[in-house]
Amino acid sequence: MSEYAKNYTLVEIDQWFWSLFGEKVVLPKPEVVAEYVGSVPKDFRFSIKVPNAITLTHQYGKGQTEANPHFLSNDLMQDFLHLIEPMSKQINSLIFQFEYLNKQKMPNQMLFQDQLQKFYQKLPPKFHYCIEIRNQNYLNKPYFEFLQSMKLSHVFLQGYWMPSIFQVYGHFKEYIKGHTVIRLHGPDRKGIEQRTKNIWNAIVEPKDGELHNLKMMINDLIARQVKVTLNVNNHYEGSAPITIKRFLDLLLNDAFG
């Protein structure tokens, strides 16, 4: 981690997301939290995915018919925040990643928003809370009005069968204020793993057009005084570090060219 921090100023912590194992919930170990904090400078920032024990409506591996008793549990969230308190001053954002919510898991959008509102109202206000939804039919005016009223940040997810982030931003940009997160994942996780053989040192699926559109989107967000967090996955083009460099080169060429 210390070597990573020499080159980047932020990392997305994904490992604590995978937390629900049947009846067992696994939360961060204090020694791991301490290791993260101790290996980076004080101006380094963490973007953290909240445990899926909080965001899953139903248990894994049981036909997804058994309700998860920890779904949007404020008690479990309090336990999680207590464990990561040593890094609290360096947290950029806390991301709630919800899976695709079919009618069996969540009867309708309004019920989801009502449950999320009750949960959110009990959270400490000192963090940026960001919502990643994977129902494209939820991406509508009532949803963005809800986020805005709650002062929750939207997560733009590029990939996973979601509509283009540029299309979504074009429709709902007026509701994006304060802070937003952009996560670049790509549409074909298994396919790109086969092509790279899980060696992530080269671009195998270049997305020059998307990176150009991303530059325009981020420039517009910054002009509107919106704080932007950009998280890039290896699965987007084949190598996150190279994608980041390609994008930074685009920004620099725009600034000085």
How many Å apart are CA 6 and CA 243, to the nearest integer? 18
Q: Are 69 and 30 in contact (CB under 8 A)?
A: no
β-partners of residue 184 are: 158, 232
How far apart are alpha carbons 190 and 147 in whole angstroms? 32
In this prediction, residue 123 carries a pLDDT of: 97
Confidence of residue 256 (pLDDT cuts 50, 70, 90): very low
User: How confident is residue 251, by pLDDT bands cut at 50, 70 and 90?
Assistant: confident
What residues contact residue 137 under an 8 Å CB cut-off, 6+ apart? Answer: 109
- Residue holding tokens 């002062």? 151
DSSP class of residue 187?
S
Structure tokens at 92: 């950029």
Residues 18-50 pLDDT 10s: 999 888 999 999 999 999 999 999 999 999 999
- 255 has a pLDDT exceeding 70: no
pLDDT over 80 (residue 150): yes
pLDDT tops 70 at residue 223: yes
Q: What is the pLDDT of residue 65?
A: 72
Assess whether pLDDT exceeds 80 at residue 139.
Answer: yes
Q: In the prediction, which pLDDT does 183 show?
A: 97
Strand ranges, E, within the chain: 10-13, 20-21, 24-25, 45-49, 91-97, 129-132, 153-159, 179-186, 227-232
Predicted pLDDT of residue 142: 98
Q: What is the mean pLDDT of residues 234-252?
A: 94
Rounded average pLDDT over 188-216: 94
Residue 190's CB is within 10 A of a number of other CB atoms, namely 8
Q: Within 13 A of 131's CA, how many CA atoms are on the CB side?
A: 22
Model pLDDT, residue 63 = 57
- Summarised one tens digit per residue, pLDDT across range 177-198 is 999 999 999 888 899 999 999 9
Give the residue-averaged pLDDT of 90-115: 97
- Give burial (CB, 10 Å; 0-12/13-18/19+) of 95: buried
Contact 41, 90 (CB under 8 A): no
pLDDT of 254: 66
**Residue 198 DSSP class:** T
Q: Has residue 64 got a pLDDT over 80?
A: no
